[in-house]
Structure 1
Amino acid sequence: MSTRLMSAVGANSTLHNASRAMLRRGLLVPRTAREALSSRAPRPLPPTASLLRGARPMLQHQSAKGEKWGGVPTGIAVAAAVMAAAALVSSRREDGHVPEVLAAEAYSLPIGRTSPQVCNCFIEVSRESRMKYEWDEETNMLKLDRVLHGAAFYPHDYGFIPQTLCGDGDPLDVLVLGTSALQPGSIVDVRPLGFMCMEDEKGLDEKVLAVPDKDPRFNHMTSLRDVPEHVLREITNFFETYKQLEKSKWVKVGGWKGTTDTHELIDKTHQKFLEEKKRIKGKQHGTAAVASATAGAGAAERRVKHAMD
């Protein structure tokens, strides 16, 4: 429990210190949080977003009598327990399924300070999973979009580069080579090596291939020439066949492009995102801004608007 608890509250030094004190003293958490932490909870675990919303006001709680719980201010201790519960809920897996993942608002994340050489990548799907998650801008959570209909599973971790916009109205997709599965909802600095040309029923849908920039095992990989040919064929085969059993869906896969072309693609899709953002901003300042912006906005416009909020 201690590792998960620390990961949940490590971003906040006050919570971090409080949780350490709680663990040292072997304190029990309040009843409601204890039930949430228990693997045999008598009722369904609350959504992680609700847990966090409940934790935030507790961070500001100051008891009139200066009440403390095991040497830790009551509000801080309860918040630490709730944050720990959120971490456990978000990391719990059953048959490879991740029900909910806490993360920042994915579409508003920066593209990366050294883009396109190194970009942020938001992970949606772990390698060897059939569960296709997508970031849901309405709930600010990962949502199960579909389960692959065939026997295949994603050969590598899968996500997208934020603040990009492709022809299908979605951000630029990325497959990340790695030595172990990444947690959905995590953010990884990736180094793009190339991309696979692809089109589906929604439009152009290129797939970037990248490696974790901070993994020394991939320091030697700087271009597609460093990727084994069989790995590229495996990825191509996966995308050629992964929608075959789905009605009204199709995929056309082309060849692979190198690092220079990939950097240009990232810049191009980022520029398209910025242009859409500027267009929406201009529309919102117009006389019919609200009516036009809310009446049937497309997927691309919704995502860019979400990043602006």
Structure 2
Amino acid sequence: MEQSKMITAMVECPKGYNQKFDYDPEEQRFRLSKILPAGLVFPFDFGMVPGTKGEDGDPLDIIMISESGTFPGCLVDCRIIGALQAEQTELNGQTMRNDRFIGVPGVSQMFSEITTLEQLPEAIGNQLEAFFKNYNEQAGKQFKVTAKLNAVQAAKLLGK
């Protein structure tokens, strides 16, 4: 079995938070950018892969599947287990790719055996898709998963 690719991710929005933080590279600090509606919280730590750039001009997004949350700015070494290849339609109607990489922290005990998206419990996968869809709907945007990438495909995409 091929070894999953390890990367370092930076947490922007911790698990269980209803605030959206964005890292401001000029200020080298985090800025509160949004408060999610009542009942909507990040299901797992969400952040970015420093040193990368997606089609939207921001660093690539990653959600980290773990039994506990951390804090904004925390660096987490993660094993890439897959990605949700997605299209996001903005308020102005423009559609762009906005993939979500899925990682498992190397220190996770509960998810230590998970190396591919296929091994993730189906309920977690469904929860991730529903969260991103609802999160974007709240902002008047559409989020559509176009493909589920396995660990190898996701690592290749990350390497581009």
Does TM-score exceed 0.5, indicating one fold? yes
Deviation at 1:224, TM superposition (A): 1.2
Does the Cα contact within 8 Å between 2:67 and 2:108 map onto a contact in 1?
Answer: no
Residues 175-217 of structure 1 deviation map (CA, whole Å, 9 limit, x = unaligned): 1111111111110100010001112226211001111112343
Q: Greater helix share, 1 or 2?
A: 1
- Cα deviation for residue 139 of structure 1 reads 1.1
Structure 2: give runs of 5+ residues left out of the alignment: none
Q: TM-score, normalised by structure 1?
A: 0.47
Question: Which residue in the other structure is 1:244 paired with?
Answer: 137
User: What is residue 187 of structure 1 aligned with on the other side?
Assistant: 75
CA-atom RMSD, angstroms? Answer: 1.6
Moved over 3 A (4+): none
% identical equivalent positions: 27
CA pair 254-150 structure 1, distance change in 2 beyond 3 A: farther
Contact 1:239 1:251 in 2 (8 A): yes
Structure number, greater radius of gyration? 1
Q: Which residue of 2 aligns with 1:255?
A: 147
Counterpart AA for 1:172: L
Structure 1 counterpart SS, 2:58: coil
Alignment gaps of 5+ in structure 1:
1-115, 269-309
- Secondary structure of 1:218's aligned partner: coil
Deviation at 1:131, TM superposition (A): 0.4
Aligned twin of 2:127: 234
TM-score, normalisation: structure 2? 0.88
Across the two proteins, how many residue pairs are aligned to each other? Answer: 152
2: distance between equivalents of 1:246 and 1:208?
21
Displacement after TM superposition at 1:149 (Å): 3.4
CA contact (8 A) 1:148 1:243 kept: no
Verify: 1:178 aligned to 2:70, yes or no.
Answer: no
Residues 27-69 of structure 1: CA distance to partner in whole angstroms, max 9, x if unpaired?
xxxxxxxxxxxxxxxxxxxxxxxxxxxxxxxxxxxxxxxxxxx
**Shift of residue 171, structure 1, vs aligned partner:** 0.8
- Partners in 1 of 2:36 and 2:97 — Cα distance? 20
Higher RCO, 1 or 2 (CA under 8 Å, sep at least 6)?
2
1:183-222 matches, within 5 Å, as: 183-200=71-88, 201=90, 203-222=96-115
Higher strand share: 2
